[in-house]
Structure 1
Amino acid sequence: MMPGTRGTARPVRGIAALGCWALLLVVLLPVLILQSLDARFGAALAVQCVVVVHTGAALARVLTDVRARVIGFGFWLFAYVWLGLAPLAMLATDAYPRGFMVDAQSAFVTTLVVESGLLAYSAGSAVASWRSSRSSTVLEPLLARRLSPARVLLLCGLALLLAVVLIPGQGGLSAFFLSRQAANEAAAAAEPAGTADRAMAAWALSVPAFWALVALVHVPRFTAGDRTLRGLRWLLLPLLIALNATVNNPISQPRFWAGTVLLALVFSASWLRGPRAFRLGAAAVAAVVLVVFPYSDYFRYDKREPVKVVSLAEQFTSNGDYDAFQQVETGVDYVRTHGFTPTAALGPPLFFVPRAAWPGKPDDAGILLARHAGYTFQNLSAPLWIETYMWAGFPSVIAVFGLIGAVGRRIDDLRHRLRRRRGTLAALLVPAFGFYQLVLLRGSLMAIVGPLALLVCIPILITRKAGRRALPPSASAPAPRAQRDALSLSTGGART
């Protein structure tokens, strides 16, 4: 290596680390699941083995990447656990967490639907990575937006005001510490219109409170100091921590949302934006999802039984939290019976239109699948794979997941290049969306698109356009020689 080039050397993925992760995710965990079962081999199980290899290898690549790929990590973690390992156990034993069963042909088509979406996502991500050196006229200036202190303070005041106004209508403070079972029973006893209003009010409490806390923690501090801003910050911080502990706690809130709040707070920290720290944090999250998540429903019920530790295979085949693959199977069976419904694609983007003004508004896909299966409990998931398949079959699955893969990879690359800037939209929104992906991918879209709109729009509104400043070059595109020489002179050859 020539003198002066040390600081500009491109980072290289650790081959040993990649091999260890691939061995664990592609070989050891699947074998651990299958050896505890009396496997019944068939065409669907063969394709599912391909899905496990695909998702495990992709997750291993993310966990050893030289960039912090939050969006990619959220996607492949969900795909590996909920659509990789869990279906492997289900197909090997023909045992499922819910009662509706399909034939072998539908199971085979289901695995093809899942793998086609994964292949499209991988292709879209690969295309975006090849174009990472090119600037983006939309995403780049959007993610470079910086927090506005005045807007952040206004959001903090709004969040506290909403708490004062809306918490009494939700049943008071005590209602936020009831179990999910009690909350669901209260919602079932209410009128349908009242249930929708309560859900909207709950999200109007949770999302602004979350963003107010995140923004207040990361609001830029002026170099010369600002006593007023500093004083307001320390005054509001304990109030917002207490508010979030109330309205975003894991007792009454869905675990996926409570997890999003916690992980977004952690991964938006500056010390976790670098690749090495991110890899350690992502590995810890993956371990928690595999080991702890199955038992995190302890507070869901009023009558809590002692925690019983069972094997992963038994969890996957008996716990309704892992019903994603079975719901895709139900959707495939629904399409065989009723055909495709292209107009259902209009439902999520037009979620705000009331049914009174739109009598033919599509039903929630989760409710539709629950009715098709004959379930009495209709608050079920509808993974993005089956929602897009129900629109127009494999073409719609490939188109949607290819687009998601390309946009997600582009966002990850831009966040990596902006990681040294404080208070940017990339530093705050990307971790939140990355982990909220687990909710988005699990579905259904009609149920989560409203909260998703709040999650995305609020941080955009509290940021302002950044000054005209060029982004650092992508690692995949070496900087021009003159720029490299200037960088070496300004840093003294030290790593930055």
Structure 2
Amino acid sequence: MMPGKRGTARPVRGIAALGCWALLLVVLLPVLILQSLDARFGAALAVQCVVVVHTGAALARVLTDVRARVIGFGFWLFAYVWLGLAPLAMLATDAYPRGFMVDAQSAFVTTLVVESGLLAYSAGSAVASWRSSRSSTVLEPLLARRLSPARVLLLCGLALLLAVVLIPGQGGLSAFFLSRQAANEAAAAAEPAGTADRAMAAWALSVPAFWALVALVHVPRFTAGDRTLRGLRWLLLPLLIALNATVNNPISQPRFWAGTVLLALVFSASWLRGPRAFRLGAAAVAAVVLVVFPYSDYFRYDKREPVKVVSLAEQFTSNGDYDAFQQIETGVDYVRTHGFTPTAALGPPLFFVPRAAWPGKPDDAGILLARHAGYTFQNLSAPLWIETYMWAGFPSVIAVFGLIGAVGRRIDDLRHRLRRRRGTLAALLVPAFGFYQLVLLRGSLMAIVGPLALLVCIPILITRKAGRRALPPSAAPSASAPAPRAQRDALSLSTGGART
């Protein structure tokens, strides 16, 4: 059968868009950065150019994909900016945002660690895409779960109750509109030994409030018998909006988390689940991350200086927000001095075990690297690349990132298949986790695994198992090759013609 004009036009537009994005991300932006610098070429910079090409090309593919790949977008956006462009400027000038410096050999090994993780992720994603037609006995039923109105209302009540109980202990409402510097100083002065408990209390406020708002907006609406639910929704909605504006605002909360809340709310909307709308939204997010993010820490400190616009290269080499590559370098130097620590892999999954019961519990990787570098400020990142490398070297990096790539691609494919179903776990959790990846990848694991557990478990608890008809068939015909009419009629009869 000869393809029609519409069938042939789409691939051409896709190839043209891919070429434009690749030209921008792989050529123009790196050249713009290097052009403004007095570059010093070496082995590490050569490998870093490969990293930039890899991450830029992968991000371009996600931005032009025929499916909305939220997990893939979050991963490649972080990799391109924090481990692609930023290290390119650092290695070209030998200038870094923090004081600890390593030799050329450690810098070269660092680039190999980064590229090994990226290659493993790409390989895992490719394998998962080849097996996408096969059903998953775990992920499919999990992501097909539907919101339970009763459980959503219980969560809303719990979030408001937690606010009443915990906000006074956090310093009252005014404490949530102080700068992070002032809030941290006040907390340290009031409870020097209770920093961890205070942090968990803050997450116990933020995460349930966020999920209560998202779930209340997306809880399924019924044609009849829904008067009580509609009334409660309109009563609770303004309260939850006000609560989230208080506990999840970008003034007192880290920008990565405040951004996750906002983007998850936006990208969980039904009109952004389609490929075309997602591509536009993702392109806007990428532009904001590149242009606006460096200046978004305006409320972080008490003394706010006027915003000074500088080049991307200067931001990458002077702003501590881009220390991910330098922290990986510090970890490589740590391994050269102290060797690998396989037992550290037990720390994140067993984060809830108190140190009193586990005297040998591993230290937070970010704190460990800060001590090795001699920093006085220990609240630093430890990207997933260096945490896995510190466990067992390149084999653990390859194994972990290969698994992440395969699972992430599988989740994106399942969300695409469920995109027309309202109130599913896939519609809500995937966007939230996709953007929270920036926190997860930046690390450290010990610091974020508690909030991550809350982020994942709460939506699972407020959903219930879907019926057998919740998932479309795995081998359903694609939009570009519609099934014959008789086959569609047979499929409609087998499912009872129901639309959920």
Scaled by the length of structure 1, the TM-score of the pair is 0.95
- Give the drift of 1:189: 3.1
- Give the drift of 1:259: 0.1
- Give the drift of 1:187: 3.6
Change (3 A) 1:443 1:150: same
Distance in 1 between residues matched to 2:324 and 2:230, nearest whole Å? 46
- Give the drift of 1:55: 0.1
Change (3 A) 1:8 1:423: farther
- Give the drift of 1:491: 15
Cα deviation, 1:290-324, whole Å, max 9, x if unaligned, reads 00000000000111111000000000000000000
Q: Is the 8 A contact 1:133 1:477 kept in 2?
A: no
Distance in 2 between residues matched to 1:397 and 1:153, nearest whole Å? 42
SS in 2 for 1:469: helix
Cα deviation, 1:126-165, whole Å, max 9, x if unaligned, reads 0000000011100000000000000000000000000000
Q: Is the 8 A contact 2:7 2:480 kept in 1?
A: no
The equivalent of 2:395 in structure 1 is: 395
Mind listing any 5+ residue stretches in structure 1 that lack a counterpart? none
Count matched residues.
Answer: 496
- Give the drift of 1:185: 1.8
Of 346-355 and 178-187, the range deviating more from structure 2: 178-187
Distance in 2 between residues matched to 1:470 and 1:253, nearest whole Å? 37
Change (3 A) 1:458 1:11: farther
- Give the drift of 1:469: 1.3
- Give the drift of 1:333: 0.2
Q: Is the 8 A contact 1:127 1:406 kept in 2?
A: yes
Change (3 A) 1:91 1:475: farther
Matched ranges for 1:105-254 at <5 A: 105-254=105-254
Distance in 1 between residues matched to 2:120 and 2:215, nearest whole Å? 35
Change (3 A) 1:213 1:470: closer
SS in 1 for 2:284: helix
SS in 2 for 1:453: helix
SS in 2 for 1:11: helix
- Give the drift of 1:5: 13
Q: Is the 8 A contact 1:152 1:219 kept in 2?
A: yes
- Give the drift of 1:183: 1.7
Distance in 2 between residues matched to 1:395 and 1:476, nearest whole Å? 41
SS in 2 for 1:300: coil
Q: Is the 8 A contact 1:4 1:493 kept in 2?
A: no
Change (3 A) 1:493 1:27: farther
Distance in 1 between residues matched to 2:103 and 2:360, nearest whole Å? 32
Change (3 A) 1:401 1:191: same
Of 179-188 and 291-300, the range deviating more from structure 2: 179-188
- Give the drift of 1:98: 0.1
Cα deviation, 1:155-204, whole Å, max 9, x if unaligned, reads 00000000000000000000000001112222443545411111010000
Distance in 1 between residues matched to 2:127 and 2:393, nearest whole Å? 23
Q: Is the 8 A contact 1:51 1:115 kept in 2?
A: yes
- Give the drift of 1:241: 0.0
Change (3 A) 1:476 1:243: same
Change (3 A) 1:420 1:469: same
- Give the drift of 1:122: 0.1
Cα deviation, 1:99-139, whole Å, max 9, x if unaligned, reads 00000000000000000000000000000000000111000
The equivalent of 1:495 in structure 2 is: 499
The equivalent of 1:273 in structure 2 is: 273
Distance in 2 between residues matched to 1:54 and 1:235, nearest whole Å? 49
Mind listing any 5+ residue stretches in structure 2 that lack a counterpart? none
SS in 1 for 2:12: coil
SS in 2 for 1:353: coil
Distance in 2 between residues matched to 1:139 and 1:7, nearest whole Å? 32
Change (3 A) 1:180 1:407: same
Change (3 A) 1:478 1:391: farther
Percent of residue pairs bearing the same amino acid type = 100
Q: Alignment RMSD, CA only?
A: 2.9
Distance in 2 between residues matched to 1:211 and 1:494, nearest whole Å? 29
Q: Is the 8 A contact 1:10 1:475 kept in 2?
A: no
Distance in 2 between residues matched to 1:399 and 1:475, nearest whole Å? 35
Cα deviation, 1:233-291, whole Å, max 9, x if unaligned, reads 00000000000000000000000000000000000000000000000000000000000
SS in 1 for 2:303: coil
Change (3 A) 1:337 1:16: same
Distance in 2 between residues matched to 1:481 and 1:112, nearest whole Å? 53
Q: Is the 8 A contact 1:12 1:66 kept in 2?
A: no
Change (3 A) 1:403 1:114: same
Q: Is the 8 A contact 2:469 2:495 kept in 1?
A: no
Distance in 2 between residues matched to 1:314 and 1:400, nearest whole Å? 33
SS in 1 for 2:354: coil
The equivalent of 1:98 in structure 2 is: 98
SS in 1 for 2:151: helix
- Give the drift of 1:7: 10
- Give the drift of 1:483: 3.4
Distance in 2 between residues matched to 1:270 and 1:405, nearest whole Å? 25
Cα deviation, 1:26-62, whole Å, max 9, x if unaligned, reads 0000000000000000000000000000000000000
Q: Is the 8 A contact 1:365 1:382 kept in 2?
A: yes
Distance in 1 between residues matched to 2:91 and 2:269, nearest whole Å? 41
Cα deviation, 1:333-383, whole Å, max 9, x if unaligned, reads 000000000000000000000000000000000000000000000000000
Cα deviation, 1:39-91, whole Å, max 9, x if unaligned, reads 00000000000000000000000000000000000000000000000000000
- Give the drift of 1:6: 8.6
Q: Is the 8 A contact 2:210 2:244 kept in 1?
A: yes
Distance in 2 between residues matched to 1:168 and 1:428, nearest whole Å? 30
Change (3 A) 1:289 1:199: same
Distance in 2 between residues matched to 1:314 and 1:265, nearest whole Å? 33
Q: Is the 8 A contact 1:13 1:66 kept in 2?
A: no
Change (3 A) 1:347 1:4: same
Distance in 1 between residues matched to 2:70 and 2:472, nearest whole Å? 19
Distance in 1 between residues matched to 2:62 and 2:407, nearest whole Å? 16
Scaled by the length of structure 2, the TM-score of the pair is 0.95
Q: Is the 8 A contact 2:144 2:470 kept in 1?
A: no
Q: Is the 8 A contact 1:132 1:476 kept in 2?
A: no
Distance in 2 between residues matched to 1:494 and 1:458, nearest whole Å? 29
SS in 2 for 1:117: helix
The equivalent of 1:24 in structure 2 is: 24
Of 297-306 and 58-67, the range deviating more from structure 2: 297-306
Distance in 2 between residues matched to 1:401 and 1:477, nearest whole Å? 34
The equivalent of 2:369 in structure 1 is: 369
Change (3 A) 1:74 1:481: same
Change (3 A) 1:267 1:276: same
